[in-house]
Chain A
Amino acid sequence: MKNIVMTIALMGVCICLGIATPILAAEVDVHADVESRELFENMPVKGLITITHPRNIAIDDKSFKMEKAPLTVSLVKEEPMTATGDLVMSIYSFEIGPQPKGAHSLPSVSVKAGSKEYRSIPTTYQIKDGSASDTVPAQSSVAATTSSSVDSSVVLRFEPFIEGPSTLYPGQQTLVGYNYIFNVNLDTTGEETPLLEAKGLIKIGDKIVKEGENQGLSILQIAQIVQGDNPGEYSFGPSHLEGKAYRLNSMGQRVYAKQKISINTPSLTIKVEPFPAADKPISFNGALGNFTWQVKLLTPAIVQVGDEVSLQIDATGKGNLASLSLPELCCQPGISGFFRLSDLPPVGTVEGTIKHFVVTLRPLTDAVKEIPSLEFSSFDPDEKKYVIVRSEPIPLKVKPAANQPSNIPKPTPAQSEIPQRDWKDQWNQTSLIAIEGNYPLSSTDLQDFFLGTWWSLLVLPIGIGAFIFQINLKRQLEKMPKRVAEQGNVLLQSALNASPGSAEQYRLLQKALLVKLVERQELGSADIAVELLATSGMQGKVRSLLLAIEEKRFSGQVGYPNAQQLKEAQEIVAELDALDTKGGEL
């Protein structure tokens, strides 16, 4: 089995090599063709011969023949096929004489390469009628009058067009654009195409570009769908195109015509007419076309008050379905006051030639007996008249809601009992419910109250922080060395001013002397009994004086401290003031 597979594989390889070898062995390939497909009679026909050959095989330039006749060629270029390979492509140009119009055959071209002769396969080409004067169109002008033999057959047409009606109604569409018809390449130096900008109209979609050929001429069409919006006359133009025609020579280089081409076209006008006011139906909402409308009930025909009822409304007919919108249903007879419509307007979906809308509404009362006849209207631009269609009413049974509160007003009259007023009156009827009017607003009404947000609660921690700050501040102030000198002197002054010989005077005098001792750092604290004072120094003087006063007072004698003792106290204070402080005073 293994041997059979191996044998089959080997045979396959041989077959492949057998097929490939002749192909690979074809070392030289010759191909001849005319240079351009745009050939006109009475013009020389230029051609190119492309020879693919190994680098080591030389081409004999003088061996070219066409139909056994020598053919004069000139080498255009020679370049390798690949960066590393051996194959080279040599291109030669040739020219044959002018030919009459019609189909022609380019015969086989033979050439010697190495020691062998190789031939090309014959091809065909078409010679056209190349008279330039036949291509001047009626609407545009071609200013390309050149004297060069290269430019004698330049054709360039620039034609604005309106495909469709040039008188529109709001919402109606038409196609506008430009046709470029040419047989040359054009280096555009200036172009004005106001029709494509369509100022004043609404542009629908992107530009539509089409290319084609007709009678040997290339046609480029750039178009735009536009839609009427506001009534008025819109003029577009003049349009303008200018540039220089050129051809590519055999070297691939551009050969420009000597003269510039400039084309101007007159303005085109599109008129947008307003919808006629006469006989305009109230239900008209700008729909364009001639449509038929069908209304179907999607939900059950028996519902309760407040239940959702869905209607499918289908529109079909001649007109732009994509932009078709549902007319207002809110104010149609039998809807207002009986049904509550959905908050969102139905958008509609297009399926083929039908546009579907789904409308949801809720009956507000059990007096509802039907989905009333709905009116749909549109304007037919072809007939120039309004088309009004009315749907058939759809029976609907509405049950009252359970647990209905007792203070609900009496149900509204049945739909059929409502007199058939002129719909215009009902449509034009404004709300009968009066409410309080708006507040005139200013920019301050858009701001929050100052300190009226939750951020204002920050007052609490800030207030607590303020208290803590004050406590700390007070402590710091208390720690600061006091001007106790003032305190002692103030107390002495108070004692001198007090009632002579009174207990208060004695008390103030005692305190003043003790405080003075403290401030002079003669004493640690003023809260000390007089007997505990030292018996020498300033303390001793104060002790002596105070004990003397005490002795007199507690012995029942009045008038102490007397003037002499007060004077002595002043002298002690003065002496203490005069003492050198030991850093205890501010």
Chain B
Amino acid sequence: MKSYLRDPFVIVCLLAVFVCFINIIKNLMEENPAKQLQIAQEQYIAGEQATTAMERKKLFNEALQIFLQLDEKYQPQFGNGKLYFDIANSFFQLEEFPLAILYYERTVALRPRDDKVGRNLAIAQQQLKLVPDNTVSPFQQLFFFHNYLSLPERLQLFSCLAIIAVGLGSGFFWTKNLWLYRSALGMGVLCGLLLLSLGYTHYISPERGILIQASSLYRDSGEQYAKVREEPLIAGMNLKVLDVSYSGKWLQVQTPEGLVGYVPNSSVRLI
């Protein structure tokens, strides 16, 4: 028994169990946000039913404030995206369309199959006279699941398949059953594909950001440089972030039209 306790794998498993236990205790001790959520929802609905602009703005602002507080506290970046959708709607109702687009894009990343989000995003983009980018690259066509499943879903699927593969492989190791071997191999291949997809997301996939306030596109990182084009970029535009300047205050971006230039960091929020 003592020799098993010295095994690194056993130690890792025990640590993992301990960490899970601590997380469960922590979650149980946290304040239940149900009441805040209810208040926010009520404020939002009341805002929709308000009869004057001032009252409407006040109610939506109150709802938005609660949603943003919950976002700051819980940061559900690997969640189901519903909170982001509600935040986006609140911004939309306050006519803060660039921020609404930002949160709709975040929701799309977490709920890629939800048409509701896409519709609202299109309406928000329309308010700013933005043309949505619906092009699909060959990579996206081949690895359709990459965009069909959100990142948390792919991670979940990978974990489940990996656990199943380990189980099947272990079964084959002890019993030498050929079917177990074949099943483990199949699961391993699927895990490998998902791992590739995750690796692409993390390392290769470009960062994207939303321009939350209109800004000129400069040739280099500074306002003293010439502009790439005279008219400023419209707020709400979806940009591909290529690089960060040395000082961190400017971002090199590419517009949907393909123009490359620099914009101030403060004008862009990453999706």
Expressed in whole angstroms, the Cα–Cα distance for A453 and B155 within the complex equals: 6
Expressed in whole angstroms, the Cα–Cα distance for A454 and B50 within the complex equals: 43
Given the known A-B contacts A435-B92, A449-B78, are A405 and B129 also in contact in the complex, defined by CB atoms under 8 Å? yes
Q: Are B78 and A443 in contact, CB atoms less than 8 angstroms apart?
A: no
Q: Are B76 and A448 in contact, CB atoms less than 8 angstroms apart?
A: yes
Interface string of B251-265 (1 = CB under 8 A from A): 000000100000000
Expressed in whole angstroms, the Cα–Cα distance for A330 and B60 within the complex equals: 15
Expressed in whole angstroms, the Cα–Cα distance for A536 and B85 within the complex equals: 91
Question: What distance in Å separates the Cβ of B77 from its nearest Cβ neighbour in chain A?
Answer: 7
Expressed in whole angstroms, the Cα–Cα distance for A463 and B82 within the complex equals: 33
Expressed in whole angstroms, the Cα–Cα distance for A376 and B218 within the complex equals: 40
Q: Are A451 and B155 in contact, CB atoms less than 8 angstroms apart?
A: yes
Q: Are A462 and B13 in contact, CB atoms less than 8 angstroms apart?
A: yes
Given the known A-B contacts A405-B131, A449-B153, are A459 and B163 also in contact in the complex, defined by CB atoms under 8 Å? yes
Cβ-based interface call for A430 (8 A): yes
Expressed in whole angstroms, the Cα–Cα distance for A122 and B76 within the complex equals: 87
Interface string of B85-115 (1 = CB under 8 A from A): 1100100110110010000000000000000
Cβ-based interface call for A407 (8 A): yes
Q: Are A469 and B7 in contact, CB atoms less than 8 angstroms apart?
A: yes
Given the known A-B contacts A330-B95, A401-B231, are A430 and B56 also in contact in the complex, defined by CB atoms under 8 Å? yes
Residues on B with C-beta less than 8 A from A438 are 41, 44, 85-86, 89
Question: What distance in Å separates the Cβ of B166 from its nearest Cβ neighbour in chain A?
Answer: 4
- Which chain A residue shows the least CB distance to B49? A430
Q: Are B120 and A435 in contact, CB atoms less than 8 angstroms apart?
A: yes
Residues on A with C-beta less than 8 A from B152 are 448-449, 452-453
Residues on B with C-beta less than 8 A from A21 are none
- Which chain B residue shows the least CB distance to A407? B131
Cβ-based interface call for B173 (8 A): yes
Cβ-based interface call for B245 (8 A): no
Expressed in whole angstroms, the Cα–Cα distance for A330 and B131 within the complex equals: 25
Residues on A with C-beta less than 8 A from B78 are 448-449, 452-453
Cβ-based interface call for A439 (8 A): yes
Cβ-based interface call for A214 (8 A): no
Given the known A-B contacts A403-B229, A427-B53, A445-B82, are A465 and B213 also in contact in the complex, defined by CB atoms under 8 Å? no
Residues on A with C-beta less than 8 A from B80 are 445, 449
Cβ-based interface call for B74 (8 A): yes
Given the known A-B contacts A436-B116, A436-B119, A446-B74, are A456 and B12 also in contact in the complex, defined by CB atoms under 8 Å? no
Given the known A-B contacts A307-B232, A436-B120, A452-B153, are A441 and B50 also in contact in the complex, defined by CB atoms under 8 Å? no
Question: What distance in Å separates the Cβ of A157 from its nearest Cβ neighbour in chain B?
Answer: 48
Interface string of A426-442 (1 = CB under 8 A from B): 01111101011111111
Cβ-based interface call for B169 (8 A): yes
A-B contact count (CB 8 A): 170
Residues on A with C-beta less than 8 A from B204 are none
Main secondary structure of the interface of B (DSSP, over half): helix
Q: Are B163 and A446 in contact, CB atoms less than 8 angstroms apart?
A: no
Expressed in whole angstroms, the Cα–Cα distance for A439 and B85 within the complex equals: 8
Cβ-based interface call for B65 (8 A): no
Interface centre among A285, A402, A454 (most CB of B within 10 A): A454
Given the known A-B contacts A403-B229, A463-B162, are A330 and B53 also in contact in the complex, defined by CB atoms under 8 Å? yes
Q: Are A446 and B231 in contact, CB atoms less than 8 angstroms apart?
A: no
Cβ-based interface call for B174 (8 A): yes
Question: What distance in Å separates the Cβ of B152 from its nearest Cβ neighbour in chain A?
Answer: 3
Q: Are B12 and A463 in contact, CB atoms less than 8 angstroms apart?
A: no
Q: Are B89 and A467 in contact, CB atoms less than 8 angstroms apart?
A: no
Question: What distance in Å separates the Cβ of A428 from its nearest Cβ neighbour in chain B?
Answer: 6
Expressed in whole angstroms, the Cα–Cα distance for A343 and B129 within the complex equals: 18
- Which chain A residue shows the least CB distance to B47? A430
Residues on A with C-beta less than 8 A from B241 are none
- Which chain A residue shows the least CB distance to B32? A443
Q: Are A430 and B50 in contact, CB atoms less than 8 angstroms apart?
A: yes
Residues on A with C-beta less than 8 A from B213 are 343
Expressed in whole angstroms, the Cα–Cα distance for A268 and B230 within the complex equals: 67
Interface string of B62-73 (1 = CB under 8 A from A): 000000001000
- Which chain A residue shows the least CB distance to B50? A430
The one of B9, B41, B54 in contact with A441, judged by C-beta atoms closer than 8 angstroms, is: B41
Residues on B with C-beta less than 8 A from A470 are 170, 173-174
- Which chain A residue shows the least CB distance to B119? A436
Q: Are A362 and B156 in contact, CB atoms less than 8 angstroms apart?
A: no
Cβ-based interface call for A460 (8 A): yes
Residues on A with C-beta less than 8 A from B232 are 306-307
The one of B7, B54, B202, B234 in contact with A328, judged by C-beta atoms closer than 8 angstroms, is: B54
Expressed in whole angstroms, the Cα–Cα distance for A540 and B17 within the complex equals: 61
Given the known A-B contacts A304-B231, A453-B152, A467-B169, are A448 and B79 also in contact in the complex, defined by CB atoms under 8 Å? yes
The one of B76, B165, B229, B230 in contact with A463, judged by C-beta atoms closer than 8 angstroms, is: B165
Question: What distance in Å separates the Cβ of A389 from its nearest Cβ neighbour in chain B?
Answer: 19
Q: Are A430 and B51 in contact, CB atoms less than 8 angstroms apart?
A: yes
Cβ-based interface call for B226 (8 A): no
Q: Are B231 and A439 in contact, CB atoms less than 8 angstroms apart?
A: no
Given the known A-B contacts A436-B119, A449-B79, A467-B173, are A456 and B159 also in contact in the complex, defined by CB atoms under 8 Å? yes
Question: What distance in Å separates the Cβ of B232 from its nearest Cβ neighbour in chain A?
Answer: 5
Expressed in whole angstroms, the Cα–Cα distance for A457 and B40 within the complex equals: 35
Cβ-based interface call for B16 (8 A): yes
Given the known A-B contacts A469-B7, A470-B173, are A442 and B50 also in contact in the complex, defined by CB atoms under 8 Å? no
Expressed in whole angstroms, the Cα–Cα distance for A430 and B230 within the complex equals: 36
Cβ-based interface call for A468 (8 A): yes
Cβ-based interface call for B160 (8 A): yes
Cβ-based interface call for A10 (8 A): no
Residues on A with C-beta less than 8 A from B9 are 462, 465-466, 468-469
Residues of A439-494 at the interface with B, using a CB-CB cut-off of 8 Å, are: 439-443, 445-454, 456-463, 465-472, 474
Residues on A with C-beta less than 8 A from B77 are 448
Q: Are B156 and A441 in contact, CB atoms less than 8 angstroms apart?
A: no
Cβ-based interface call for B33 (8 A): yes
Seed contacts A441-B41, A445-B76, A448-B78; 7 additional CB < 8 Å A-B pairs: A403-B257, A446-B33, A446-B83, A449-B153, A451-B156, A452-B79, A467-B166
A-B CB contact pairs (8 Å), 17 listed:
A285-B54, A401-B231, A402-B229, A405-B131, A428-B53, A436-B119, A437-B89, A441-B41, A443-B33, A447-B79, A456-B158, A459-B158, A463-B166, A465-B9, A466-B9, A467-B169, A474-B173
Name A's B-contacting residues (CB within 8 A): 282, 285, 304-308, 328, 330-331, 343, 362, 364, 401-403, 405, 407-409, 427-431, 433, 435-443, 445-454, 456-463, 465-472, 474
Closest 5 CB pairs of A and B: A452-B152, A448-B78, A465-B9, A463-B166, A469-B9
Name B's A-contacting residues (CB within 8 A): 7-10, 12-13, 16, 32-34, 37, 40-41, 44, 48, 50-54, 56-57, 70, 74, 76-80, 82-83, 85-86, 89, 92-93, 95-96, 99, 116, 119-120, 123, 127, 129, 131, 152-153, 155-156, 158-160, 162-163, 165-166, 169-170, 173-174, 198, 202, 213-214, 229-232, 234, 257
